[in-house]
Amino acid sequence: MSAVAKASGALKSVDSEVFGRVQGNGGLRGAGGRGAYTEQEAKKLGVVGWVKNTSQGTVTGQVQGPEEKVNEMKSWLSKVGSPSSRIDKTNFSNEKEISKLDFSDFNTRY
């Protein structure tokens, strides 16, 4: 069992879509998928899930983990992002309590 799953408190899951200049070299995913800023932040916080660029120029994803850590990731996605991204708005949906994690780590989908 991962350290995330053993953490105390409720587990949460939330979907996100980030709008702005969030793709490409300065985007939330980082240069060419390397550097993957969102992935790095998620791993630092200890949440699991995924992130993916969309054809509409947004970045979508899902974050799961202890409620406190999911909330920290939501804040990062809304306000911080990668060093050269510009976040116009972030929509969160399907926020819910879950009994177990659906993922074992955080990765970038292509």
**Residue 8: predicted pLDDT:** 55
All residues at 6 or more sequence positions from 13 whose CB lies less than 8 Å from its CB, including other chains: 49, 62, 63, 64, 70, 94, 95, 96, 98, 102
Q: Is the pTM of this model over 0.85?
A: no
pLDDT digits (tens, 9 = 90+) for 41-89: 999 999 999 998 888 888 899 999 999 999 999 999 998 877 777 889 9
> Quick one: fold of 11-23+32-103?
Alpha-Beta Plaits (3.30.70)
**What are the boundaries of each domain within the chain?**
11-23+32-103
**Residue 24: predicted pLDDT:** 60
3-class DSSP state of 71: helix
